[in-house]
Chain A
Amino acid sequence: MKKHDLIPFLTVLLSLILGIVVIALLGKNPFQAYYNLLQGSGLAPKASYAGHKGMITDFTSFLNALTPMLLASLSVLIALKAGLFNIGVSGQMLAAAFVATVLVGYSELPAVVAKPLVVLIGAAVGALVGGLVGYLRHRFNINEVVSTIMCNYIVQFVASFFINVFFVDPVSRQSKNIGAASRLTLVDTVVGDYKMDIPLGILVAAAAVAATVFLLGKTTLGFEIKAVGSSSRAAEYAGIRVGRTRVLAMMLSGGAAGLAGVTYYLGYFCSMQPRVLASTGYDAIAVALLGNSSPIGIIFSSFLITVISKGSTYMSSTAGVQAEMASALTGIILLISACGAYVRERLDRWKENR
């Protein structure tokens, strides 16, 4: 392990210490608050549980939240490797989920057909949106940051138009719930004495992480993506088709975002709120950076961030620390991890100048 691979760990440690200080200043017990976060995420036992609930139910619920975060971070990561900044993960998520909801979610297809179909459609639609962004970059040299942000708006408003006009549930003001057959989470499944939500999406996420590790480390396309990402001029010189590589990378990134979308809107949840984009797509940028831009690293970073957000409800009810504290803690971690990138840069430069 290289020395500055440790930086993310130091970042997290420093943030947690800062968190302790802040919670202590609020007059609460910081260690209890942190323990509550773990309890809320099903990683530590709570004092008491309601009927048919247990640590395992909290944990499966946690995995439900983790799945889209992991996939979204993977999406950001793939684009980053090609030197592209995918700000449009949230939009790609919604686009994929919207199409999957309309085509499969409201259909009468049996579960064996519907569930794989949702995954396929999610990946395909995400890849299409991502590919469009890549193509705009390649053909017209439109910066992907601009085009992804614009795509976010377009997707957001087009989807809300259709939801509001055709698919709205008059009570919840959200899109009508999808059928259980197409949902990627098996809700209220009875296992032994417990009733739990089993996320099938986590299998998709695990497969996606493995596929990304393989793609980047063991394929010619991965090699080309890394070369283009580090130096497009050198890549071009070596005979790599830079534009094609960028389009493919954005398609893969969009595909991962699409998977994040279906596991979020057709798994963790079962409907879409019009005119709102999931913050997951934005958080994922920071999570990817915190994960040191490595597929394995983001398993840890998305795990951590999800623990904090998922456990916050329990923390606020038990320790009396406001749930917002969790967001603040996340903010501190991400802020310091951004500084970590700076520290790494300085270390590299220092090494070079030596």
Chain B
Amino acid sequence: MSDYIIEMNHITKRFPGIVANDDVSIQVKKGEIYALLGENGAGKSTLMSMLFGMYEPDEGEIIIRGEKVKIESPNHATRLNIGMVHQHFKLVSNYTIAENIVMGMEPVKKGFGLFKTLDQKRANEEIRALSEKFGLEVDPTKVIENINVSMQQRVEILKMLYREAEILIFDEPTAVLTPQEIAFLLEIIESLRRDGKTIILITHKLEEIKKIADRCAILCRGKLIDVLDVKETDTKTMANLMVGREVNFSVDKPASEYGREVLKVEHLTVQNEDKFEVVKDVSFSVRGGEIFAVAGVSGNGQVELADAVAGLLKPSSGTITLNGKDITHASIRSRNLEGISYIPEDRQNVGLVMDLSLSDNLALKNYFKPPFSKGPVIAGDAFTGYSDGLIEKYDIRSGQGSETIVRSMSGGNQQKAIIAREIELDSSLLIFVQPTRGLDIGAIENIHRQIVEQRNKGKAVLLISLELDEVMNLADTIGVIYNGRIEKIADAKTLTPGEVGEFMMGVGGRHEKA
């Protein structure tokens, strides 16, 4: 019998076209805080989803408390005293905290001595006691929709504790929190550990690992790179291990010839739908012939930044200037006409109208202009002719050519269609957000080539990507965004991937100051 509470041995998990986990083995001791570190898509969440019974591994075995188990469902995982706090909380927003927590295993009493009813009072007391024990500061009678994200997260933690979880998995718990809330959460995690709980922390923030974790497993592209003792390792080494890998394909790029300034963003602040400041006082400019890449970990405000420039989000302060013209308050349509092309992150819900035909989608931004229409009347054949041309030029593959309903096309071809449409607008500024997410190598190379082509033509390119490789390969200038602020802007040639990675994790420039 080993002294490990969890052993995952030689786990392999494949999804269509991708190996999410490739022969990964980790062992976690009882009572330790074990961190899983890796970039987006490194396979951390997949690995933990298997431990929580959401997927089954294709190969390998899972051993819990010395016993080999096949975890079939999250319910099964709960019975094995495993709990997980997901990135997206699973709460009923119009129920109280206590109701959410006890749901599925409610304390009951007999109403009028006959009917089983929820014993609200007992539920509240139990939750309050549990909350006090771990210092969670949760009032069980409050309703979910009236409490903030940090409190909701603590409700999720209580949900696990109420189910007597011994092994607690946190999936990127700090991604949605403010620094103060993060500090509070880390305290809570410490107190859970003191109570003998075993904690697995999925994260890509080095600071947090350094603060509380005992050991740290580093995953990269589905493979386990190393398991480190956190006390004996500095953050820089961890960052290097996490991102410092060989660049597998580089793009031919002639030396940059910058033209005039196309986009100028000054002191831009943007709030998201929850009135939370996600972009804070950001200033930068992009010139013609320049690829300005914004590097950053997911959820640090880069998507909102792009949306604000494209006009989908209204900035709360600051100015946006395009070709010398203030467009801060211009409509989306007028920005498009002024010269902005936008390849959005969510290609299926934002970039395309899935139930319309390919030809309609390719004309989505110029259907109102000649030759597509004359006044209010559309010329259908112009759509088809234009669409046929683009299908040929950009090699968009679809079942029935121009008439194909976009929904039935593959993700790669959908993206090709968006890029074709946006490039053909011949805008002076092109915004690419995550242009290659989820695509295969061939499609990625093709898109990279087109981005560079646009730059060589003298267009300004604003590239937002979570893939550090992509940023390093394509960028002329890199701006690193962390927590809504651009922490560093520098010529791409002067930065190493490791340095960019440190800025991405908010620990950049530490050694300079020291």
Can you give 25 A-B contacts (C-beta < 8 A)? Answer: A217-B378, A217-B380, A218-B377, A220-B373, A220-B376, A220-B378, A227-B353, A227-B356, A227-B364, A230-B353, A230-B355, A231-B349, A231-B353, A231-B354, A233-B349, A233-B350, A234-B351, A234-B354, A235-B353, A236-B332, A238-B332, A238-B364, A238-B365, A239-B365, A352-B407
Binding site for A on B (CB under 8 A): 310, 312, 331-333, 335-336, 342, 344, 346, 349-356, 360, 364-365, 367-368, 373, 376-378, 380, 407-408
Count class of interface residues, chain A: 20 to 34
With A230-B355, A231-B354 as known contacts, state yes or no: A236 contacts B377, CB within 8 Å: no
Find out whether the CB atom of A218 lies under 8 angstroms from the CB atom of B378: yes
A233→B344 CA distance, assembly (Å)? 11
> Could you tell me if B365 and A223 are in contact, using CB atoms closer than 8 angstroms?
no
**In chain B, what residue has the closest Cβ to A223?**
B367
**Residues A226 and B356 in contact, CB atoms below 8 Å apart:** yes
Determine whether the beta carbon of A237 is less than 8 Å from that of B344: yes
- Cβ–Cβ < 8 Å partners of B380 in chain A: 217-218
Q: Which residues of A contact B407 (CB under 8 A)?
A: 348, 352
Closest 5 CB pairs of A and B: A239-B333, A230-B355, A239-B332, A238-B364, A234-B353
Known: A220-B378, A223-B378, A230-B355. 9 other contacts (CB 8 A): A218-B377, A221-B376, A227-B353, A234-B351, A235-B353, A237-B350, A237-B351, A239-B331, A239-B332
Chain A residues with CB under 8 Å of chain B are: 217-223, 226-227, 230-231, 233-241, 348, 351-352
Neighbouring A residues of B310 by C-beta, 8 Å: 237
Q: In the complex the two chains form, what is the Cα distance from A26 to B356 in whole Å?
A: 47
Within 8 Å CB of A235, what residues of B? 353
The total of Cβ contacts below 8 Å across the A-B interface reads 74
Contact between chains at B312 and A223 (CB < 8 Å)? no
Residues in chain A near residue B335, CB distance under 8 A: 239
Which residue of B is nearest A234, CB measured?
A: B353
* Residues in A neighbouring B368, C-beta threshold 8 A: 220
Taken together as a complex, chains A and B put the C-alpha atoms of A208 and B378 apart, in Å, by 19
Measured in the bound complex, the distance between the Cα atoms of B344 and A239 in whole Å is: 13
B272 to chain A minimum Cβ distance, whole angstroms, is: 15
The distance from the CB of A283 to the nearest CB of chain B, in whole angstroms, is 26
Given contacts A236-B332, A239-B331, A239-B333, contact A219 B356 (CB under 8 A): no
Pair A220/B367 contact, Cβ less than 8 Å:
yes
Is the beta-carbon distance between B350 and A223 smaller than 8 angstroms? Answer: no
Asked if B312 contacts A236 (CB within 8 A), the reply is: yes
Q: How far is the CA of A238 from the CA of B346 in the complex (A)?
A: 13
Interfacial chain A residues near B364, Cβ < 8 Å: 227, 234, 238
Q: Is the CB of B378 within 8 A of A237?
A: no
- List, in ascending order, chain B residues with CB within 8 A of A236's CB: 312, 332
Q: How far is the CB of A152 from chain B (nearest CB, A)?
A: 28
Asked whether A230 and B377 contact (CB < 8 A) given A237-B332, A352-B407, the answer is: no
Q: What's the nearest-Cβ distance from chain A to residue B395, in Å?
A: 23
CA distance A219 to B372 in the complex (A): 10
Q: Report A-chain residues with C-beta under 8 Å of the C-beta of B346.
A: 233
Q: How far is the CB of A93 from chain B (nearest CB, A)?
A: 28
**B337 nearest in chain A by CB position:** A239
Return B411 CB to nearest CB of chain A, in Å: 12
Among A223, A234, A241, the most chain B Cβ lie within 10 Å of the Cβ of: A234
Chain A contacts for B365, CB-based, 8 A: 238-239
B363 smallest CB distance to A (angstroms): 8
List residues of chain A with CB within 8 A of the CB of B353.
Answer: 226-227, 230-231, 234-235, 238
* Complex: A236 Cα to B335 Cα, angstroms: 13
Nearest opposing residue in chain A for B352, CB measure:
A234
B312 touches which one: A222, A230, A237, A352 (CB < 8 A)?
Answer: A237
Contact residues in B for A231 (Cβ distance below 8 Å): 349, 352-355
Q: Given the complex of chains A and B, what is the CA–CA distance between A227 and B350 in angstroms? A: 11
Contacts of A348 in B (CB 8 A): 407
A214 to B353 alpha-carbon distance, docked (Å): 21
Q: Note all chain A residues with C-beta closer than 8 A to B367.
A: 220, 223
> A226-B356, A239-B333, A239-B336 given as contacts; is B378 within 8 A of A234 (CB)?
no
Tell me, rounded to whole Å, the shortest Cβ–Cβ distance linking A105 to chain B: 34
CB contact under 8 A between A234 and B376, given known A239-B332, A239-B333? no
Q: How far is the CA of A234 from the CA of B350 in the complex (A)?
A: 4
- Whether the Cβ atoms of A219 and B377 lie closer than 8 Å is yes
| Cβ A351 vs Cβ B356 within 8 A | no
Asked if A352 and B408 make an inter-chain contact with CB atoms under 8 angstroms apart, the answer reads yes
In Å, the complex CA distance between A238 and B408 comes to 21
Most interface-central of A221, A222, A223, A348 (chain B CB within 10 A): A223
Chain A residues with CB below 8 A from B360, complex form:
223, 226-227
Bound Cα distance A231, B342 (Å): 17
Q: Bound state CA distance, A351 and B407, in angstroms? A: 10
